[in-house]
Chain A
Amino acid sequence: NAGVTQTPKFQVLKTGQSMTLQCAQDMNHNSMYWYRQDPGMGLRLIYYSASEGTTDKGEVPNGYNVSRLNKREFSLRLESAAPSQTSVYFCASSGRTGGWTEAFFGQGTRLTVV
Chain B
Amino acid sequence: DQQVKQNSPSLSVQEGRISILNCDYTNSMFDYFLWYKKYPAEGPTFLISISSIKDKNEDGRFTVFLNKSAKHLSLHIVPSQPGDSAVYFCAARNNNNDMRFGAGTRLTVKP
Taking beta carbons and an 8 Å cutoff, which residues of A are in contact with B? 4, 30-31, 33, 35, 40-45, 48, 50, 56, 58-59, 90, 92, 94, 99-100, 102-108
Contact = CB atoms under 8 A, between A and B. Distances in A.
B97 A40 contact: no
Interface of B: 1-2, 6, 9, 32, 34, 36, 41-46, 49, 51, 89, 91, 93, 96-104
Given A4-B43, A102-B46, A107-B43, A42 B6 contact: yes
Residues of A contacting B: mostly: strand
Contacts, number: 67
B53 to A, nearest CB: 11
Nearest to B96: A50
Contacts of A44: 101
B99 A45 contact: yes
A108 B41 CA distance: 8
B97 A48 contact: yes
A56 B46 CA distance: 23
5 contacts: A40-B103, A45-B98, A45-B101, A50-B97, A104-B46
A45 B100 contact: yes
Given A40-B9, A45-B99, A108-B42, 4 more contacts: A42-B102, A48-B97, A102-B46, A103-B91
A102 B101 contact: no
